[in-house]
Amino acid sequence: MAPRLEIVHGDITVEEVDVIVNAANSSLLGGGGVDGAIHRAAGPALLATCRELGGCLTGEAVITDGFDLPARWIVHTVGPVWHGGERGEADLLASCYRESLRLADTVDARSVAFPAISTGVYGYPPAPAARVAVEAVTTTPTSVAAVRFVCFDEAAIAAYESAVER
């Protein structure tokens, strides 16, 4: 059964869920946007742990403790940079969501909060990104009961609402 979907406007670092997903860069060492906010909120132990992991490839994911966050776990996934949609971006983005759910299942998570992966500095247009996200989450076998899409602005909320209505 597919997880229940929620769309909210907010700050992913304060979400009270089992797992939050970090839209990370391949180094896993922090950056701007969601990635930087998660690193700041989780505290210095996150950076130390991520240094030991040695990075992550696009479309893949790794899991760490949540450290100082309300969430017990952080799944770090590296979304694709948008190049017009002709370089497998949709498949890589879908893999981010599938791999994140797979890792959430390994820690028996019941709730997961996702940001709009790749839609910030990586340039993925919000509407197609939301369609990929909703399709990947609703078609991936998982024991996760609730998925929350945490949106930074009204445009992202509209994109996710439209994707869910499809």
Catalytic residue numbers, as ranges: 35
For CA atoms 37, 154, 160, 91, the dihedral sign is: negative
Distance CA 125, CA 144 (A): 27
Give rounded-to-5 percent helix, strand, coil for the chain.
40, 20, 40
What region does 51 belong to: left with phi over 0, alpha with psi -120 to 50, or beta? Answer: alpha
> Rounded distance, CA 37 to CA 128, Å?
24
Give residue 88's region: left, alpha or beta (phi > 0; psi -120 to 50). left
Q: Which two tokens stand for residue 108?
A: 């028996």
Measured in Å, how far apart are the chain's first and last C-alpha atoms?
Answer: 18
